[in-house]
Amino acid sequence: MRKLLIDAGRSSRGWSRIGTFSRCPQLFAYGQRLNLTMIPAGALTRGSMGHVLQAHQHAIWGAVSEEGVWVDETWHDDPDVFLDPETAVEMWCSTNGGHEHLERMLETFRRYMARHPEPPGNVIKVEYPVTAVLGNKDGDWGLWVVHLEDSDFDRRAVKVKAWDGGIIEPTPLNCPGHPDSGAALVLTRRLDMVTKERGGRTFIWDHKHQARVQANKSVDGYAIDGGFAAFRIMGKQMYGSDFGGLGLNLIQTQEPWRVARPMVPRTPHRDAHFAEMLWREEHRLARLEVDSPTFWDWPKVQHETSCIGRYGACPGIKFCFYGSAAKTI
Ligand code: SF4
């Protein structure tokens, strides 16, 4: 039997799309419109590899539990269908590169398993895709989770089935002249992991691999990331009063191989108008595409700490310096 390599990659219309645009429209245009190759930082590659390791281990743990586990869009109760984590990450590297980080990431994983030989709860979902759409439901406008059956819905449909079986009426992009005008505005996320306690309390987890785990310093940075607002909005709709919140599984990728599992602080003010911000950013992006077809000349944030961030210089910095001439440097 051919064993499964779990897709732990980014989702098709995830937060990174509009999040990158919000951070800097020019950076978005380099990657998404000019299709320039921007080498991901080593930390990002290690993060992807870490996700593959964690996804396989937690899928195996989930499959042996009473309830079974959803992985991607399929339910499983047989752990033998999954590749073991170490084989999976080696296969991932064969397609995506990253062999230079293999030894370090395997050691990180082995240290993690030695410290936490059990999952942080009963694993019920791994790399689970969630689709949400901006629209009206029961008289309220917002970002609504779509039922799994309807996750590939026609973006021009007038009605979509909601997670709870109700009806969502999408409010589509309104940008005359744009090819997507009239199409629903969709946000997708992949939940790294969902756990459920005996009493029913359910938590969404995100794995983060860091060179230095300092839980107190990290949580606010993650909490303000728009992707976590989306997780919380989705979690509340999917699990109602059983939703316990968002957890971070912070894993240090070097000595002393620290692991911390803090909860992500709530951000009620931002979450309450997240859908409106998403609506506005989608329209700002569409308007720019109609009005400013020269992608090299899109607005640039040009800010010291935005351009040189947590993982070092922005991968587009040379393009901002020299334009298309940087392609040959
Ligand atoms: S270097 Fe700064 S201005 Fe240029 S793309 Fe990156 S974030 Fe934007």
User: What pLDDT is attached to residue 38?
Assistant: 78
Atom of ligand 1 nearest to the CA of 302: 3
Confirm whether 236 is domain-assigned.
Answer: yes
Residue nearest atom 2 in ligand 1 by C-alpha distance: 307
Please report the atom of ligand 1 found closest to the CA of residue 27. 5
Cα–ligand 1 centroid distance for 70 (angstroms) = 39
In a domain, 302, yes or no: no
- Flag whether pLDDT at 119 surpasses 80: yes
Q: The tokens of 83 are what? A: 């590749």
317 lines ligand 1 (CB under 6 A): yes
Specify the pTM.
Answer: 0.93
CA distances from 167 to 136, 140, 171, 243 (A): 9, 12, 13, 22
Q: Of all protein residues, whose CA lies closest to atom 7 belonging to ligand 1?
A: 307
Most informative mutation of 36, 314, 319, 322 for ligand 1 (most atoms within 8 A of CB)? 314
Coil, helix or strand at residue 326: helix
pLDDT value of position 194: 98
Centre of ligand 1 from the C-alpha of residue 314, in Å: 6
SS3 86: helix
d(CA 319, ligand 1 centre) in Å: 8
Report the pLDDT value the prediction gives residue 40, as an integer from 0 to 100. Answer: 65
**Residue 174 Cβ < 6 Å to ligand 1:** no
pLDDT tens track for 128-172 = 999 999 999 999 999 999 999 999 999 999 999 999 999 999 999
> Residue 313 and residue 303: Cα distance in Å, rounded?
11
Residue 319 alpha carbon, nearest atom of ligand 1:
4
47: Cβ below 6 Å to ligand 1?
no
**Mean of the per-residue pLDDT values for the chain?**
94
Q: 23 CA distance to ligand 1 centroid (A)?
A: 9
Task: Establish if 203 belongs to a structural domain.
Answer: yes
Whether the per-residue pLDDT at 69 is higher than 70: the answer is yes
* 160: β partners: 168
- The tokens describing 131, both together, are 């689709």
Tell me the residue range of the domain where 237 lies: 1-17+41-261
Does the C-beta of 24 come closer than 6 Å to ligand 1? yes
Q: Residue 39: pLDDT band by 50, 70, 90 thresholds? A: low
Residue 98 belongs to some domain of the structure: yes
- Beta strands 202-210 and 243-252 are parallel
Domain contains 112:
yes
- Of 114, 129, 1, which Cα lies nearest the Cα of 55? 129
Indicate the pLDDT class of residue 9, thresholds 50, 70 and 90: confident
Q: How many domains does the chain have?
A: 1
Is the CB of 26 within 6 Å of ligand 1? yes
256 preceded by cis ω (within 30°)?
A: yes
- Given a cut of 80, is residue 113 above it in pLDDT? yes
Q: Is 314 in the pocket of ligand 1 (CB under 6 A)?
A: yes
Alpha-carbon distance 287 to 290, whole Å?
5
Residues 6+ apart with CB under 8 A from 178: 286, 287, 289, 290
The CA distance from 260 to 208, in Å, is 10
SS3 10: coil
3-state class of 122 per DSSP?
Answer: strand
Q: Is the pLDDT of residue 288 over 70?
A: yes
Instruction: Please indicate, yes or no, if residue 326 is contained in any of the structural domains.
Output: no
- The closest-lying atom of ligand 1 relative to the alpha carbon of residue 24 is 8
Rounded distance from Cα 42 to ligand 1 centre (Å): 19
- Per-residue pLDDT of 228-239, as tens digits, reads 999 999 999 999
In a domain, 131, yes or no: yes
Q: What is the DSSP pairing of strand 74-76 with strand 140-145?
A: unpaired
249: pLDDT strictly greater than 80: yes
Distance of CA 130 to the CA centre of its chain: 10
> What is the model's pLDDT at position 10?
76
If you average pLDDT over each of 114-118, 271-275, 310-314, which comes out highest? 271-275
Burial of 1 per CB tally in 10 Å (0-12, 13-18, 19+) = exposed
- DSSP character at residue 260: E
d(CA 126, CA 86): 17
Mean pLDDT of 7-28: 90
3-state secondary structure string across 165-218: CCEEEECCCCCCCCCCCCCCCEEEEEEEEEEECCCCCEEEEEEEEECCCCHHHH
Question: In the prediction, which pLDDT does 102 show?
Answer: 95
Is the residue at 285 inside a domain? Answer: no
